[in-house]
């Protein structure tokens, strides 16, 4: 990391573990942001099977680093892995990444949700690193419900097939789950949408946070390029819509896992497993570190 950039401090760790999120100021160099911007622009005009929101004012791509070399370079060469590992004070591995591309104009909201329920993993050491190449006012930036990562509740993802609207489809998904299948298979890499998944009726519905904002302790920040927001995979988070921006809001979010993160087949799975994991057929409870060919250590504390 170059000398002028900031590093993780004890206070940052405290905020991440206590509040579920922390804003790190001035930790990414402009040259790295330039590489990320190149990747974000490339993917915007080169959708693949995992570009769920094409044509909408919110484009979300899954696993973009797989097919965009500039984004892979950003993951490999930016200080993100070191920042996340230093925050956890533990070895970490890369799990997956996403891009959130909102064009200039009125910003689309990103709905309140937790991240964990979308993926076939569980554990307390799941950390997101959110980086935007554009300045973002508080009114369009990421926000979290402070401390909600410690509520010990997994809410239903706000996307997927509604069992009330399609009882036969839901019964089939339920039967497949009971047979021990993953509900999102590797074929999703060819063609995928958020609506292929199951609006798991066994999980509690999300509280109506947006309609009752004053009832929740909502934490958010003005964001400047060079900053990183680290947040816990289980924290409730969103980005507000409605604000007009004269420039796009182009963000990349990577998900990193520490030693306690293990496989858990979920009925609410909405995002495919990392592709290399399918053929290894993990069992519930197996740690990601048991699959080093898919999850090599990206950063570890010096012993
Ligand atoms: O950037 C956004 O609007 C939402 C980001 C998000 O939900 C995430 O990184 O998990």
If you write DSSP's letter for every residue of 124-160 in order, what string do you get?
S-EEEEEEESS-B-GGGSEEEETTGGGS---PPPS-S
**Mean pLDDT across the chain, nearest whole number?**
95
Look up residue 34 and give its DSSP letter: H
Is the beta carbon of 251 within 6 A of some atom in ligand 1? yes
Q: What sign does the dihedral 277-124-119-163 (CA atoms) show?
A: positive
pLDDT tens digits, 283-295:
999 999 999 999 9
Residue 265 has pLDDT above 60, yes or no: yes
Give 4's pLDDT tier (boundaries 50, 70, 90): low
pLDDT tens digits, 106-156:
999 999 999 999 999 999 999 999 999 999 999 999 999 999 999 999 999
Which residue has its alpha carbon closest to ligand 1 atom 6? 238
Whole-angstrom Cα distance, residue 269 to residue 183? 7
Question: Between 250 and 161, where is the model more confident?
Answer: 250
Residue 177 has pLDDT above 70, yes or no: yes
Q: Extract the tokens encoding 267.
A: 């009925």
142 C-alpha to center of ligand 1: Å?
Answer: 7
Taking a C-beta distance cutoff of 8 angstroms, is the pair 108, 102 a contact? yes
pLDDT tens digits, 18-59:
999 999 999 999 999 999 999 999 999 999 999 987 777 999
Q: What is the arithmetic mean of pLDDT over 168-184?
A: 91
- Give the pLDDT confidence score for residue 197 in this predicted structure: 85
Whole-angstrom Cα distance, residue 92 to residue 85? 6
Is the beta carbon of 239 within 6 A of some atom in ligand 1? yes
Q: Which residue has the tokens 């405290």?
A: 14
Burial 78-99 (b: 16+ CB within 10 A, else e): bbbbbbbbbbbebbbbbbbbbb
Structural domains of the chain in order of their starting residue, each with its CATH number: 10-295 (2.60.120.620)
Is the beta carbon of 100 within 6 A of some atom in ligand 1? yes
Question: Between 160 and 245, where is the model more confident?
Answer: 245
Is the beta carbon of 15 within 6 A of some atom in ligand 1? no
Taking a C-beta distance cutoff of 8 angstroms, is the pair 100, 251 a contact? yes
Q: Tell which residue, 129, 202, 122, has the closest CA to residue 160.
A: 202
Q: Choose one of 100, 231, 242 to mutate for the ligand 1 pocket test, by most ligand atoms within 8 angstroms of C-beta.
A: 100
- Give the pLDDT confidence score for residue 108 in this predicted structure: 96
pLDDT tens digits, 54-71:
777 999 999 999 999 999
Q: What is the secondary structure of 81-110 as a DSSP string?
A: HHHHHHHHTS-EEEEEEEEEEE-SEEPPPE
Which residue has its alpha carbon closest to ligand 1 atom 1? 100
Give 1's pLDDT tier (boundaries 50, 70, 90): very low
| Number of separate helices (H) and strands (E) present in the chain | 5, 15
Q: Choose one of 133, 239, 243, 254 to mutate for the ligand 1 pocket test, by most ligand atoms within 8 angstroms of C-beta.
A: 239
Whole-angstrom Cα distance, residue 68 to residue 35? 11
Question: Between 238 and 171, where is the model more confident?
Answer: 238
Is the beta carbon of 110 within 6 A of some atom in ligand 1? yes
Q: Which atom of ligand 1 is nearest to the CA of 253?
A: 9
- Give the pLDDT confidence score for residue 28 in this predicted structure: 97
Whole-angstrom Cα distance, residue 158 to residue 202? 13
Taking a C-beta distance cutoff of 8 angstroms, is the pair 270, 118 a contact? yes
Residue 264 has pLDDT above 60, yes or no: yes
Percent of the chain residues past pLDDT 90, beyond the cut:
87
């Amino acid at each position: 990391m170059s000398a002028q950039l900031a590093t993780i401090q004890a206070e940052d760790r405290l905020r991440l573990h206590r509040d579920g999120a922390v804003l790190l100021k001035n930790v990414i160099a402009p040259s790295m942001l330039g590489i990320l911007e190149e990747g974000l622009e490339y993917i915007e005009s080169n959708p693949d099977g995992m570009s769920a929101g094409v044509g909408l004012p919110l484009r979300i791509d899954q696993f973009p680093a797989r097919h965009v070399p500039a984004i892979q370079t950003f993951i490999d060469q930016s200080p993100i892995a070191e920042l996340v590992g230093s925050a956890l004070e533990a070895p970490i591995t890369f799990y997956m990444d996403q891009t959130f591309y909102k064009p200039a104009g009125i910003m689309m909201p990103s709905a309140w949700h937790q991240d964990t329920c979308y993926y076939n993993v569980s554990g307390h050491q799941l950390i997101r690193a959110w980086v935007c190449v554009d300045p973002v006012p508080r009114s369009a930036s990421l926000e979290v419900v402070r401390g909600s990562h410690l509520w010990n509740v997994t809410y239903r993802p706000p996307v997927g097939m509604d069992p009330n609207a399609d009882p036969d489809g839901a019964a089939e998904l339920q039967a497949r789950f009971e047979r021990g299948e993953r509900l999102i298979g590797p074929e999703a890499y060819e063609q995928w949408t958020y609506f292929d998944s199951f609006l798991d009726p066994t999980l509690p519905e999300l509280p109506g946070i947006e309609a009752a904002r004053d009832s929740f302790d909502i934490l958010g920040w003005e964001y400047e390029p060079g900053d990183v927001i680290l947040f816990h995979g289980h924290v409730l988070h969103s980005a507000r819509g409605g604000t007009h921006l004269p420039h796009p809001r182009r963000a990349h979010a990577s998900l990193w896992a520490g030693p306690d993160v293990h496989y858990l087949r979920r009925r609410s799975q909405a995002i495919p497993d990392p592709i290399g994991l399918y053929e290894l057929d993990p069992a519930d409870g197996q740690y990601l570190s048991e699959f080093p060919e898919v999850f090599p250590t990206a950063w570890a504390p010096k012993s």
